[in-house]
Structure 1
Amino acid sequence: MALGIQPVAVSSYPKGFPSYLSSLKSVQSLGSRSRTSFEALYHANPTIVIGLERMIAPYYQRYAEITPTYGFDLITLEDSLRAVEVGAAALGKPVQGKQINQCFLQTLEDMHHKVTTHQKGKPLTGMFLTSAGVTPRAYYSDFMAVSLMEALGIEAANGASPYSAKTPFSGQVGLEWLIKLDPDVIFMYKTANPQFTDSKVWKNLRAVKNQRVYSVDMTWREAEGPYSRLWVAMDIANKTYPELFPEPTLERVEEALCLTH
């Protein structure tokens, strides 16, 4: 879509498409991405399939029998940049793909400069949490949404992954350790009433006391696409520095990505 190409069919998005992808609501559905309807895909007659590697790999041969297929491993910022460049080239628009990446990185740099110019004292620290259980899980700094947070000058309180591989990209954070990290801001994925938010430790966290705990949606879990990564970056900036940054809109995202179609 960022390349000005509307797909002929698309897998359903968990909990519905975000607002900036609302035009996909009218596109033919292939069903759940984990259970693609190959009959629907065949009849849609695409010239290329692009998707998540973990979803495509088990059924690659079936996809490839229909049309050339590309699967991308999307976890980190580097993964995102590569997917946009390679995907754009596969769609016959290599120059536009590189430009989208360049405009995205320049926008991040401009936002970071605005934050650091405004900021007084040491940088803020932050965490991205999930889990509906007793113990929260925190995403490591190589995870895309956390990388965007750090790109804006907010340090990941729980740091980098202790693993050499890209997965797992999150780990449990005991409440005793969480109070030691005590981040300035917390972004928390909307799940079913997490139990840990009822604890005294949670209520004594700096971010909680300062009302700097922000609920975020599914977009943050998969923020690697050309629209979603900038949308999430703008969302982080607006939630953390509302006096500096407006809420994200599709128009602002497209303008920042130098999209003229």
Structure 2
Amino acid sequence: MTVLSVNLNKIAVLRNSRGGNEPDIATAANTCIDAGCGGLTVHPRPDMRHVRPDDVRVLAGLLRGRVEYNIEGNPFAPARGEYPGLLELAKEVRPTQVTLVPDSDGQITSDHGFDLTTDLPKLSPIVAAFRELGCRVSVFVGADAKGFAEAAAAGIQRIELYTGPYAEAFARGDARIELAAFADTAQRAQQAGLAVNAGHDLSQANLGTFKSAIPGLAEVSIGHALIGEALYQGLSNTVRAYLDILS
């Protein structure tokens, strides 16, 4: 079964907008776990606009031995203030998985993946460093990605498909072209020995169609839509609804 990893960033955004500790990210994490999710995702950024390093540490103690812990981030973003850098955070908390994303401060959200044909030389030593910590390494890529055999040889174990273009096409009413492209990319990655994750703008409306098109989909990381839907349906109910779709 495809693992549902709930991204908790939007919980932190709401908390940070007011200050203080509410809504509490640890309580949200426990609620998602109790509802049956298989993992939790956070994406700490140097500007600390949502999940902060202290959140990453608190969740590490909370999740250990219960569900998978996935930390996303730009491995090339330097330490700044309280943010120690992605590798240093991983050294502290030893997540199950790190997902490497080429984002920057100017991006509202992640909107593109790495180009493995050109970025692999600089990624390779970083991948090795994360692997030495015992972390599974996934790399965020687009539907046009290539270079999977070389990525596997460099120690990358998974890719995460950036599904924003699919979600946009689905909302327009016809996602056939995008689905075919993602299915082809997933198949090529799997043939090279990589497992396939997916994330970005997946929702209850479009997830089932996407999963049906991608045999062997290992994990979906969903935050924005899930937390938005939870405002109306409740967090536990929403997590269970996603699990029903994935099953």
Q: TM-score, normalised by structure 2?
A: 0.31
Highest CA radius of gyration, 1 or 2? 1
User: Which of the pair has the greater relative contact order for Cα pairs under 8 Å at 6+ separation?
Assistant: 2
